[in-house]
Amino acid sequence: MALDTATAAPSSPAAPDASAEPREPYFARLDRAARQNQSLLCVGLDVEPDRLPAPLRDLPLSDAIVEFNRRIVEATADLVACYKPNLAFYEALGPQGLEALRRTRALIPAHIPVIGDAKRGDIDNTMRKYAQALFDVYDFDAVTASPYLGQDAIAPFLSRTERGVYLLCRTSNPGSGEIADLDVGGRPLYLVIAERVQAWNSNHNAALVVGATYPQELARVRQVAPELPILLPGVGAQQGLLEESVQAGIDRQGGGLVVNAARQVLYASSGDDFPMAARQAALELRGRINRARGA
């Protein structure tokens, strides 16, 4: 296993011995959760303090965030394939935000995988540290990462065979084509990235991020990488085309995809009824995704 024990000090309280805890590969666990809940929905736990429902605002901020997440998870845990906190939303609150992230991760039922959306990308020496943070401290089952630095940089993530690694391919933002569409020998860069990620996938734990805002590009990615799992952000608040994207992104088995929604679920209501409103939003999304894939 790739956990570099030389980087974990004996005095560090934050690095459990991962090798003592063999676990099933991430994508097997994700598939099981998806089947059990008949769902390809991923709920993004991207909490914004000023959008917390009024009843929680009297709590200390980190308690309010954890409590909000707890109620969202309780209301949706039978409707999702996975959860995905984006680290930026927790880092923006300083060290107490990271403490809230750790508590949030711990309250998610063990059979539902959690993706740490961190989009890290650095040289290998540094990526070993990020792997320690994301996999050992916060125990994310999968993470997002940037492919720009190449295979040797991402190796400390991919060598953790029990974890999943979603690499940025064609992101959901309006300007994502500026770099990712650059013409590389007749093909856009994002397709070359998709091919590279396939080539890096000897541990069968690599995957791609493609925005639901670009169903045509998604279809091309699926053609080039018929078997790579895909994380599809950008439905809901970002106005991605859900049905079109699901049809473009599913693999031959009608899966191989998770669709992330955050704001649309978390903030379906700003009142006392927010857990039920979140559940209703998750139910509707799960249904739309399932109808689109014919499940």
Our finding on whether 109 is near a copy of itself (CB under 8 A) is: no
Smaller CB separation from a copy of itself, 37 or 159: 159
CA 79 to each of CA 22, 74, 83, 166, 283: distance values in angstroms, whole numbers, following the listed order:
27, 10, 11, 22, 7
- Does the annotation mark 129 as catalytic? no
| Residue 55: closest CA among 45, 44, 73, 68 | 68
Our finding on whether 55 is near a copy of itself (CB under 8 A) is: no
Residues 243 to 282 in contact with a copy of itself, rule: CB under 8 A: none
Residues 154-173 vs a copy of itself: string with x where CB under 8 A? --------------x--xxx
Residues 127 to 146 in contact with a copy of itself, rule: CB under 8 A: 127, 129-130, 132-133, 137-138, 146
Helix (DSSP H) and strand (DSSP E) numbers for the chain: 12, 10
Residues 15-54 vs a copy of itself: string with x where CB under 8 A? x------------------------------x-xxx-x--
Q: Which residue has the tokens 């608040």?
A: 237
| Residue selected from 38, 126, 198, 203 as contacting a copy of itself according to rule CB under 8 A | 126
Alpha-carbon distance 202 to 221, whole Å?
Answer: 19
Torsion of CA 218, 219, 225, 227, to 10 degrees: 100
Stretch binding a copy of itself (CB under 8 A), from 22-30, 77-85, 151-159, 243-251: 151-159
| Residue 26: closest CA among 170, 155, 207 | 207
Smaller CB separation from a copy of itself, 147 or 279: 147
